């Protein structure tokens, strides 16, 4: 390689100039900073569509590549002349990485309307103004990782209607508001990992907005996460989030070093979701609301959790109300030793043959609005001596059997919640 280079260099010195066409074979060309010494002839190299430059001091070579589509620049200094690139209207990919690019101004890419991918990773970008990317109607991929971006102005990604993939990882962003992505209807891959985010809100007026992949790893400042968009894979590795609320489905949740204690998915559509894929990393989980999520018996059954370690030993509160559960799989890791409050109301339970020996600390059980015809209540109480309140109205028991159960639990000082004095809107906290 060096010999070859020296040879060319020598020939160039003798002849006076080199044809770029001869220096680069095929359609790809790579020039190192040593090549700045070359004198190129005026002969253009129309074959070349891909060019990597190890220097940014002299862009005259770009005049020789009229059909360039992919341009890579590395190690550019702070003061390199970015505007000199503004002649390439057919460019599809521009990558300037590990350089000192610090400012992007209004209409910065106005002369490159064909860009489909813009990768500016590893620069020193601090801010981008409204309108920086405005003309990039074809842009699909935008990478801005490893910069110093602090603030995203309201319309910085406006309109970018075709944007699918956005990498903002390892910056200094603290806030994402509902306006930030309000026009990016195609966005499906979003990396925000490694930012000091404290606030993250997605647009709620885009019905089709859904993310395939959302990475919030190492966002250690983020404590509360509220999602109102469907997310296929959510990554919260080493993330600060303690409370997660989502009313749209999540298919997979990865959370190494999880700090999540509260997960509230009530109202999300979870049919077709494997609960093990969203819960098994959450070893610190204490409070879980899966009410009104369309889940069935098979979702909660132990066999769905068998294929991986799922130590959900800290769940104290579990709400499975308003689902399609018809029997209780006691071997499920959801019914663990810490369980104190269990709401199974408004399901399709026909019997409650529950021997969850693991959940012997249960204090509150809601069974109203099911399809129960029998209840081995003495047996049940033998297993659950800590029970303090119980609701079982609106089932299929005859009234005499109903009275029998009420009487039994009264003697045991278990509060039986009746339909009329239901205080369901303000459930009293149990400890
Ligand atoms: C970029 O610069 C760094 C530091 O000067 C150097 O180590 C690296 O090899 C350079 N990369 C290229 C591709 O020239
Ligand atoms: C940003 O640009 C958009 C579109 O051109 C415009 O509607 C909006 O008012 C601008 N916002 C600011 C803060 O300049
Ligand atoms: C989900 O939550 C968002 C934000 O709280 C709300 O605007 C939206 O209406 C909710 N969607 C559903 C289906 O409940
Ligand atoms: C259940 O969730 C759906 C959205 O999936 C919502 O429209 C409905 O109002 C919820 N019902 C109750 C009783 O919360
Ligand atoms: C469980 O969820 C339902 C519906 O979302 C709610 O009405 C009920 O109060 C919750 N149960 C408890 C014990 O909080
Ligand atoms: C309740 O159980 C009966 C049989 O015992 C069954 O015919 C009926 O469909 C069940 N209802 C519900 C809502 O599951």
Q: Which of 228, 246, 250, 322 to mutate to test the pocket of ligand 3 (most atoms within 8 A of CB)?
A: 228
d(CA 75, CA 122): 10
CA–CA dist 185, 163 (Å, integer): 8
pLDDT tens for 279-319 read 999 999 999 999 999 999 999 988 888 878 888 999 999 99
Q: What are the tens digits of pLDDT across the range 386-415? A: 999 999 999 999 999 999 999 999 999 999
pLDDT of residue 355: 64
pLDDT, tens digit (0-9, with 9 covering 90-100), for 47-106: 999 999 988 888 888 889 989 999 999 988 877 888 788 778 899 999 999 888 888 888
Cα dihedral 51, 53, 56, 62, rounded to 10, equals: -30
Taking the CA of residue 424 as reference, the ligand 5 atom at the shortest distance is 9
User: Which residue CA neighbors atom 12 of ligand 6 most closely?
Assistant: 348
Ligand 3 lined by 41 (C-beta under 6 Å)? no
pLDDT of residue 254: 97
For the CA of 204, the nearest atom of ligand 3: 7
How far apart, in Å, are the Cα atoms of 243 and each of 87, 218, 262, 273, 428? Answer: 50, 16, 5, 20, 21
Nearest CA to ligand 1 atom 9: 75
Q: Is the CB of 322 under 6 A from ligand 5?
A: yes
User: 325 CA to middle of ligand 6, Å?
Assistant: 12
What are the backbone dihedrals phi and psi of residue 429, each rounded to the nearest 5 degrees, phi first?
A: -70, 135
Instruction: Using the predicted structure, report yes or no on whether residue 427 has a pLDDT greater than 90.
Output: no
Query: May I ask the CATH class of domain 261-431?
Result: alpha beta
Which ligand has the nearest atom to the CA of 367? Answer: 5
Partner residues linked to 230 by β-bridges: 210
Residue whose pair of structure tokens reads 């979870």 in the numeric block: 270
What is the pLDDT of the chain when averaged over all its residues?
A: 89
Closest residue by Cα to atom 5, ligand 4, is 267
In this prediction, residue 338 carries a pLDDT of: 94
Ligand 4 atom closest to the Cα of residue 292 is 1
Return d(Cα 342, Cα 363) in angstroms, integer. Answer: 8
Ligand 4 centre to CA of 267 (Å) is 5
267 within ligand 4 shell (Cβ under 6 A): yes
Has residue 10 got a pLDDT over 60? no
Distance CA(270)–CA(268), nearest Å, equals 6
pLDDT digits (tens, 9 = 90+) for 111-145: 999 999 999 999 999 988 888 999 999 999 999 99
Distance of CA 380 to the CA centre of its chain: 42
């Amino acid at each position: 390689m060096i010999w070859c280079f020296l040879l060319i260099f020598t020939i160039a010195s003798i002849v006076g100039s080199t044809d770029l066409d001869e220096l680069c074979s095929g359609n790809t060309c790579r020039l190192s900073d040593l090549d700045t010494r070359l004198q190129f002839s005026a002969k253009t190299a129309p074959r070349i569509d891909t060019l990597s430059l190890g220097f940014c001091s002299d862009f005259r070579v770009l005049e020789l590549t009229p059909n360039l589509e992919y341009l890579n620049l590395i190690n550019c200094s702070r003061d390199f002349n970015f505007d000199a690139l503004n002649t390439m209207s057919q460019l599809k990919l521009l990558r300037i990485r590990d350089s000192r690019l610090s400012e992007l101004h209004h209409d910065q890419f106005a002369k490159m309307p064909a860009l489909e991918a813009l990768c500016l990773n590893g620069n020193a970008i601090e801010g981008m103004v409204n309108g920086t990317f405005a003309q990039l109607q074809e842009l699909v991929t935008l990478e801005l990782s490893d910069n110093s971006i602090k603030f995203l102005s309201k319309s910085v990604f406006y309109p970018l209607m075709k944007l699918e993939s956005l990498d903002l990882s390892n910056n200094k962003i603290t806030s994402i508001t509902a306006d930030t992505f309000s026009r990016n209807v195609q966005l499906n891959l979003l990396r925000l990992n490694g930012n000091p985010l404290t606030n993250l809100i997605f647009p709620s007026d885009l019905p089709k907005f859904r993310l395939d992949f959302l990475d919030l790893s190492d966002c250690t400042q983020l404590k509360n996460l509220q999602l109102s968009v469907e997310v296929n894979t959510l990554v919260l590795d080493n993330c600060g989030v303690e409370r997660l609320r989502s009313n749209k489905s999540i298919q997979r949740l990865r959370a190494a070093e999880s700090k999540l204690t509260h997960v509230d998915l009530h109202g999300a559509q979870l049919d077709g979701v494997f609960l093990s894929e969203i819960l098994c990393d959450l070893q610190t989980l204490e409070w879980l609301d899966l009410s009104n999520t369309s889940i069935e018996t098979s979702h909660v059954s132990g066999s769905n959790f068998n294929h991986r370690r799922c130590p959900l030993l800290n769940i104290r509160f579990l709400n499975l109300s308003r689902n399609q559960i018809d029997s209780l799989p006691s071997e499920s890791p959801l019914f663990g030793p810490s369980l104190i409050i269990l709401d199974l109301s408004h399901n399709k339970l026909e019997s409650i043959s529950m021997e969850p020996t693991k959940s012997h600390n249960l204090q509150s059980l809601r069974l109203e609005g099911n399809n129960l015809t029998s209840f081995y209540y003495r047996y049940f109480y033998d297993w659950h001596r800590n029970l303090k309140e119980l609701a079982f109205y609106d089932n299929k028991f005859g009234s005499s059997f109903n009275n029998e159960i009420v009487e039994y639990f009264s003697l045991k000082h278990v509060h039986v919640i009746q339909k009329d004095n239901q205080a369901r809107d303000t459930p009293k906290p149990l400890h």
